[in-house]
Amino acid sequence: MADLENSTPFGARVMPSCGRDGDDLLLIVIAARFRLPTPGQATNLEISSSQEPPPLSDEFVGEPGLSSIRRPGQSAYTKPATDIHVVGHAYAPNGAPVTRMGVAIRVGPCSVDLLVHGDRVWQRALGGQVKPSAAAPFVRMPLVWERAFGGVASGST
């Protein structure tokens, strides 16, 4: 296996792979982790002090197959674009509980706008219809697939 001299501050991994025609390839994967700026502060991303090498296999939030992927494995021999993964929580402004709030994530031309609600349960209404309850107040809400309800990212390719 070839040695990689990584002159970046980011995590890197070298993996043997093969192309579609069976040709031997050396796959070099570099993963950068950033910290989001504090709201109201500078808009530049800060490089995270923790820079781990990209995972070889998927890492799950909970039980594999029953929970969302926290970090996807990076063993594909090709990727047509850059992946952007957000791992974190929505925090209510000024630490005051809210029942819902907007969250926007933008990286270059890729963006996603979320409406984050507090915990709700499905309730049966008159006539047998099912509808969600009022949202419970929250200060911090995890941004994970298990809590999502419909929609896709816009502006992504």
Is 96 in the same domain as 67?
no
Please state the rounded mean pLDDT for residues 62-78. Answer: 80
Is 74 in the same domain as 26?
yes
Residue at which a domain ends, from 34, 62, 80 = 80
Residue at which a domain ends, from 80, 103, 122 = 80
Output the pTM of the full model. 0.67
Residue at which a domain ends, from 80, 102, 123 = 80
Write the DSSP assignment of 78-117 as a string of letters: --SS------SEEE-GGG--BSEEEEEEEETTEEEEEEEE
Q: Which residue has the tokens 């820079």?
A: 51
Q: What pLDDT sits at residue 39?
A: 67
Is 59 in the same domain as 96?
no
Is 53 in the same domain as 95?
no
Q: How many separate domains does the chain show?
A: 2
Nearest alpha-carbon partner for 28 in 49, 59, 58, 7: 7
Pairwise pLDDT comparison (98 vs 156), residue with the higher score: 98
Is 7 in the same domain as 50?
yes
Cα distance between residue 113 and residue 83, in whole Å: 17
Domain span at residue 108 reads 86-157
Is 56 in the same domain as 103?
no
Q: What pLDDT sits at residue 156?
A: 45
Angle at 108 between CA 14 and CA 17, to 5 degrees: 20
Is 99 in the same domain as 50?
no
Is 147 in the same domain as 94?
yes
Q: What are phi and psi of 62, to 5 degrees?
A: -135, -135
Is 75 in the same domain as 103?
no
Pairwise pLDDT comparison (70 vs 91), residue with the higher score: 91
88-146, pLDDT tens digit by residue?
Answer: 899 999 999 999 999 988 877 888 888 999 999 989 988 889 988 999 999 999 998 88
CA distances 114 to 28, 117, 149, Å, are: 33, 10, 10
Is 42 in the same domain as 100?
no
Helix-then-strand count for the chain, H and E: 0, 12
Is 73 in the same domain as 100?
no
Per-residue pLDDT at 2 exceeds 90:
no
Is 4 in the same domain as 63?
yes
Q: What pLDDT sits at residue 68?
A: 84
- Give the H or E element holding residue 130: strand 130-132
